Amino acid sequence: MAKTTLAYTCSNCGASHKKWAGRCETCGEWNSIQEEAPLAAGPKGKTLGANKGRKIPLGDLSTVDAPLPRGLSGIQELDRVLGGGLVPSSAILVGGDPGIGKSTLLLQAAASFARNGQKAIYISGEEASSQIRMRAQRLELTDAPVRLATETNLRDILTTLEEERPDIAIIDSIQTMWSDHVDSAPGSVSQVRATAHELTTFAKRRGVSVILVGHVTKEGQIAGPRVVEHMVDTVLYFEGERGHQFRILRAVKNRYGPADEIGVFEMTGMGLQQVTNPSALFLGERDNPAAGSIVFAGIEGSRPLLVEIQALVAQSSLATPRRAVVGWDSARLSMILAVLESRCGISFAGLDVYLNIAGGLRISEPAADLAVAAALISARQDRALPKDTVVFGEISLSGALRPISQAENRLKEATKLGFSNAYAPSRMKLASESGMNVQKIEDIAQFVENCFGTIEQ
Ligand code: TYD
Ligand code: MG
């Protein structure tokens, strides 16, 4: 009799392990490794043997395919994140924390697509049809010809989709679906993988765009959306703090468009409204610039975005002072603090440091280094920069400023919003005059000298 060996799979990243452990070595998550039924052993024998397969037709690279017509939802922020509309027969994963607004956005999108003449089906495994209708009433979408169903059995869902042949099918959520040929509970890694695989192959085979909703889970029992990221064409994540009204939809992977593109939405009493001028929104009211607050001219995806970076520096009562970061990388903050200490002699020892990106945005660009450094020094010295100033540039470990991309777009956006001074790395070519007074900075020490003068230790 064959010995059954159990498999151990991480529900966060899907990595498999030989034995159970408290922490997944691949993604570093604690308590996420679960026992799973082993995968099928595959075909008997070592090779496929002498039985011949079917000869598959081979093509060449020069064939010109007609460009795929993209379906537009009419929600511009969503279409932009998708890379200019929805590609037929693509599979899209929309991930995010529970309650962030995935169902709301997708119901609005389904209604929009349906109003634009596409056939849209919305299948929920979480809410009753009456609940979805109630939400549709609140959002004033009841007139849109969206077809609704509540179902979790994948076999029934596929049969329905096969017959209906919609243009778009929305599956909310992948963690509630189950396939009867996999012997484990809905939400387990094997179920989520199997159902996502079935749905994506269905999308390719039948020319239906399938949108899968995936909850980001905290506990290990339920598989997270990362487990299916590699199967789908496009991965979108909904970001934003639940207390904030802003929601950011970010393309993390996109086979049909640029990754890192963002769409900005605002959660209102009438669902998610798109924000077409996000810079103005993220800056908010800035009449009297406070110490520790700096405007960073950033780029998110293909679009310039001005954001306020806030720092607070206070005497610490702890042996190891606090370093708290919201919206930025904490390792990068430690690096900036170290550079300030060793290249400019500005020490933050014995001081608690808090860093926050206003509006609930997450920034991953290294170009924000200089703005963060400026916010930190400004907070430490309790001195604000003039209110019409923007800052950008990457800081290297030597303290030198490195050139960054799309400087002109950043300056243009800043000019548009009424800024007139900029601090930027010196080794950068600026072709056109932007009407902006640009101070070119060689290294961090020169920046400190220019902005804050001599700083006492
Ligand atoms: P939902 O789309 O159900 O979240 P998810 O599907 O990601 O779990 O969003 C639910 C939240 O959105 C809930 O806290 C209420 C809020 N909301 C509004 O503020 N306005 C609205 O018009 C709607 C429909 C929801
Ligand atoms: Mg939901």
Among 108, 267, 270, 274, which is best to mutate for testing ligand 1, by the most ligand atoms less than 8 A from CB?
267
Q: Given this model, what pLDDT does residue 257 score?
A: 86
Altogether, the residues listed in the chain come to a count of 457
> Atom 11 of ligand 1 has which residue's CA nearest to it?
99
Which of 55-69, 100-114, 313-327, 328-342 shows the lowest mean pLDDT across its residues?
A: 55-69
> Atom 15 of ligand 1 has which residue's CA nearest to it?
99
pLDDT at position 300 over 70: yes
> Atom 13 of ligand 1 has which residue's CA nearest to it?
99
Per DSSP, which regions of 173-270 are E strands? 209-215, 234-239, 246-254, 262-268
* Contact 271 CB / ligand 1 (< 6 Å): yes
Ligand 2 mean position, distance from CA 396 (Å): 43
pLDDT, tens digit (0-9, with 9 covering 90-100), for 37-68 = 766 655 555 666 667 788 888 888 887 777 77
Q: Given this model, what pLDDT does residue 401 score?
A: 94
Q: Write down the mean pLDDT value for the chain.
A: 88
Q: How far apart are CA 457 and CA 452, in angstroms?
A: 13
pLDDT, tens digit (0-9, with 9 covering 90-100), for 92-121 = 999 999 989 999 999 999 999 999 999 999
pLDDT at position 1 over 60: no
14 with 226: CB under 8 angstroms?
yes
Ligand 1 mean position, distance from CA 271 (Å): 7
* Contact 242 CB / ligand 1 (< 6 Å): no
Q: Given this model, what pLDDT does residue 192 score?
A: 93
Going by C-alpha positions, the residue among 325, 307, 312, 341 that lies closest to residue 414 is: 307
Ligand 1 mean position, distance from CA 168 (Å): 22
Q: Given this model, what pLDDT does residue 46 score?
A: 63
Consult the annotation and say whether 98 binds a ligand. yes
Q: Given this model, what pLDDT does residue 29 score?
A: 86
Q: Given this model, what pLDDT does residue 40 score?
A: 61
Which atom of ligand 1 lies closest to the CA of 172?
6
* Contact 100 CB / ligand 1 (< 6 Å): yes
Largest distance between two CA atoms of the chain: 81
Ligand 2 mean position, distance from CA 136 (Å): 13
Which atom of ligand 1 lies closest to the CA of 270?
22
Q: Can you give the pTM of this predicted structure? A: 0.82
Question: What would the mean pLDDT of 227-233 be, rounded to a whole number?
Answer: 92
> Atom 1 of ligand 1 has which residue's CA nearest to it?
101
DSSP annotation string for 254-270? ETTS-TT-EEEEEEETT
Cis peptide before 173 (omega within 30 of 0): yes
* Contact 134 CB / ligand 1 (< 6 Å): no
pLDDT, tens digit (0-9, with 9 covering 90-100), for 367-413 = 999 999 999 999 999 999 988 899 999 999 999 999 998 888 899 88
Q: Given this model, what pLDDT does residue 9 score?
A: 86
Ligand found nearest the CA of 237: 1
Q: Given this model, what pLDDT does residue 436 score?
A: 84
Confidence band, pLDDT 50/70/90 cuts, at residue 432: low
pLDDT, tens digit (0-9, with 9 covering 90-100), for 190-225 = 899 999 999 999 999 999 999 999 998 876 677 888
pLDDT at position 305 over 80: yes
Q: Given this model, what pLDDT does residue 214 score?
A: 93
Ligand 1 mean position, distance from CA 103 (Å): 7
Going by C-alpha positions, the residue among 203, 193, 147, 152 that lies closest to residue 176 is: 152
Confidence band, pLDDT 50/70/90 cuts, at residue 145: very high
Consult the annotation and say whether 214 binds a ligand. no
Q: Given this model, what pLDDT does residue 312 score?
A: 95
121 with 147: CB under 8 angstroms?
yes
Which atom of ligand 1 lies closest to the CA of 105?
2
pLDDT at position 75 over 70: yes
Percent of the chain with pLDDT over 70: 93
Ligand found nearest the CA of 95: 1
Percent of the chain with pLDDT over 90: 54
Ligand 1 mean position, distance from CA 248 (Å): 14
> Atom 2 of ligand 1 has which residue's CA nearest to it?
101
pLDDT at position 266 over 60: yes
* Contact 103 CB / ligand 1 (< 6 Å): yes
| Cα atoms in the Cβ-side hemisphere of radius 13 Å centred on 219 | 3
Strands 7-10 and 120-124: unpaired
pLDDT at position 454 over 90: no
pLDDT at position 176 over 80: yes
Ligand 2 mean position, distance from CA 172 (Å): 7
